[in-house]
């Protein structure tokens, strides 16, 4: 059974000693297996077989379009992006995206309804209003989008770089959800990471979005940025709470300049210490919960009547490459550079370089360069991890019914590995299943890692810390 409403709403229990002990590096589990396991042995035969399985399933669709362009460089960013002031670079890229849509529309049964649509980046609003109209028209030409505003159609924006007029234009195109990267309102922090948006700008934009009747406004914050203190971030948080977003994500900044070159522009001496980061996180969680937000999981919070919270209470919450999702029943088709599709028991990732992506599309070839075919064991562990990371419990009866195994025997080693967490009060294991307590919910990534077969085989892969 899904957790009770009272369980979902209970405050998290903060135990600094336990958190410090289990705060290791690990995956975020937006997929299982995770992206580092994708490989270039994935073949066109694998792709064709997955398309057939997807079509036979008649699952609804979720579409993702990656628009990589930004006109400014945010130093902390680890996204696949192209920083340029040259707006003319967008049109040739969008033409290839349209060609990729046309190609996939020949493979997939496009009569299936598109329940979700997401434009990410980069900064999707880098493109002009005319290009947005063109891209949306192309999407509608090839896929069955909703005409009644019932779909979850979302776009990511930089609130300091987009006008209310553009957001009104996007609303008329069919978008009804917005995710904006606020990160921090402190001017010293903004200067240190080259990311600017004033409280006044964001407040005016939020007022416009509500007047335009967007269904949901989500804001992203990052803790652990240079020059942040508990006091300064508390001030930012107060301003965000006053803006009253429907959802809020509180991301941990992972300083990995060897992976993301732009992060080398951040002065390490200005980064808060690990203890300062934990203090900021604890203060933020307490403040958000006191303001009425429900802790959905990991770094996500939402108002009690938000669809994420309702899905969690109903046991229907899922995770995908955009984070927590209410539509786990959809097959995900992704377009554009570096984007990842998930359908028919496979993951498929496009080329990460714009030039290679465009060359493949021009040659009439799939833009995918890596992929992964899930085994029966992968599907089993994917289910287990999803149940834990979304609902904080796992019922053995569900596992046995779905996969025809005895989970206690099958996961004997994993259950034994969880025993220290049981002793530390993070979770309990009974004959019925696993229940993660509120003292363990912050460490759910660490719990899920126990069921990840690939972590033990690939110890050289670098991940962010779980908190």
| pLDDT tens per residue, range 104-160 | 999 999 999 999 999 999 999 999 999 999 999 999 999 999 989 999 999 999 999
pTM: predicted TM-score of the whole model, two decimal places: 0.94
> What integer pLDDT is reported at residue 5 of this predicted model?
43
456 confidence band (pLDDT: 50, 70, 90)? confident
Query: What does the alpha-carbon distance between residue 312 and residue 326 come to, in Å, rounded to a whole number?
Result: 8
CA 186 vs. chain centroid, Å, equals 25
Query: What does the alpha-carbon distance between residue 29 and residue 386 come to, in Å, rounded to a whole number?
Result: 8
The phi-psi region of residue 161 (left if phi > 0; otherwise alpha if psi is between -120 and 50; otherwise beta) is alpha
Query: What does the alpha-carbon distance between residue 161 and residue 72 come to, in Å, rounded to a whole number?
Result: 10
Q: What architecture does CATH give domain 1-33+376-467?
A: Orthogonal Bundle (1.10)
Beta-bridge partner residues of 372: 347
Strands 69-70 and 82-83: parallel
Q: How far is CA 414 from CA 239, 399, 452, in A?
A: 43, 15, 9
Q: How far is CA 455 from CA 177, 445, 449, in A?
A: 35, 12, 7
CATH topology match: 1-33+376-467 vs 35-332: no
| 443, burial (CB in 10 Å: exposed 0-12, middle 13-18, buried 19+) | buried
Report helix, strand or coil for 22: helix
pLDDT at 82 over 80: yes
Q: Which single residue is written with the structure tokens 């220290």? A: 420
Q: What is the mean pLDDT of the chain?
A: 94
Query: What does the alpha-carbon distance between residue 425 and residue 447 come to, in Å, rounded to a whole number?
Result: 13
- Tokens encoding 15: 């135990």
The secondary structure of 128-183 as a DSSP string is -HHHHHHHHHHHHHHSEE-SSS-SEEEEEE-TTS--HHHHHHHHHHT--EEEEEEE
- Find, among 264, 163, 156, the residue nearest to 220 by Cα: 156
Q: Where are the domains of the chain?
A: 1-33+376-467, 35-332
Question: What's the pLDDT tens digit per position in 359-400?
Answer: 999 999 999 999 999 999 999 999 999 999 999 999 999 999
CATH number assigned to the domain covering 35-332:
3.80.30.20
């Amino acid at each position: 059974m899904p957790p009770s409403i009272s369980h979902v709403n209970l405050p998290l229990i903060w135990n600094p000693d336990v958190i410090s002990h289990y705060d290791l590096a690990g995956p975020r589990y937006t997929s299982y297996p995770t992206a580092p396991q994708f490989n270039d042995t994935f073949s066109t035969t694998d792709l064709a077989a997955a398309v057939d399985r997807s079509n036979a399933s008649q699952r609804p669709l979720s579409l993702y379009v990656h628009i990589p362009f930004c006109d400014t460089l945010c130093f902390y960013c680890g996204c696949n992006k192209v920083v340029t002031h040259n707006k003319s670079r967008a049109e040739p890229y969008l033409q290839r995206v349209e060609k990729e849509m046309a190609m996939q529309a020949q493979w997939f049964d496009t009569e299936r309804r598109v329940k979700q649509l997401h434009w990410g980046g980069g900064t999707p609003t880098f493109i002009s209003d005319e290009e947005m109209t063109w891209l949306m028209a192309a999407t509608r030409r090839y896929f069955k989008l909703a005409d009644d505003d019932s779909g979850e159609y979302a776009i990511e924006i930089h609130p300091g770089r987009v006008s209310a007029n553009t957001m009104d234009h996007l609303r008329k195109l069919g978008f009804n959800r917005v995710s904006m990267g606020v990160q921090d309102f402190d001017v010293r922090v903004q200067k240190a990471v080259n990311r600017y948006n004033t409280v006044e700008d964001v407040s005016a934009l939020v007022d416009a979005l509500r007047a335009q009747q967007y269904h949901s406004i989500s804001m992203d914050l990052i803790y652990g940025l240079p020059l942040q203190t508990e006091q300064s971030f508390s001030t930012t948080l107060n301003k965000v709470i006053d803006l009253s977003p429907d959802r809020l994500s509180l991301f941990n900044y992972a300083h990995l300049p060897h992976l993301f070159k732009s992060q080398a522009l951040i002065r390490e001496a200005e980064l808060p210490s690990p203890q300062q980061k934990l203090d900021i996180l604890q203060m933020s969680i307490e403040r958000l919960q006191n303001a009425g937000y429900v802790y959905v999981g990991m770094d996500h919070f939402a108002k009690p009547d938000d669809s994420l919270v309702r899905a969690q209470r109903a046991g229907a919450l899922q995770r995908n490459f955009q984070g927590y999702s209410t539509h786990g029943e959809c097959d995900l088709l992704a377009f554009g550079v570096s984007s990842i599709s998930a359908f028919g028991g496979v993951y498929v990732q496009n080329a990460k370089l714009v030039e290679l992506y465009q060359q493949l599309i021009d040659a009439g070839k799939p833009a995918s360069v890596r992929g992964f075919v899930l085994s029966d064991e992968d599907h089993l562990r994917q289910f287990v991890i999803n149940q834990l990371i979304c609902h904080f419990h796992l019922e053995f009866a569900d596992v046995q019914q779905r996969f025809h195994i005895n989970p206690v025997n099958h996961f004997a080693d994993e259950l034994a590995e969880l025993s220290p967490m049981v002793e530390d009060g993070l979770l309990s294991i009974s004959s019925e299943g696993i229940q993660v307590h509120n003292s363990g919910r912050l460490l759910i990534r660490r719990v899920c890692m126990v069921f990840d077969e690939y972590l033990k085989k690939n110890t050289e892969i670098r991940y962010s810390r779980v908190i």
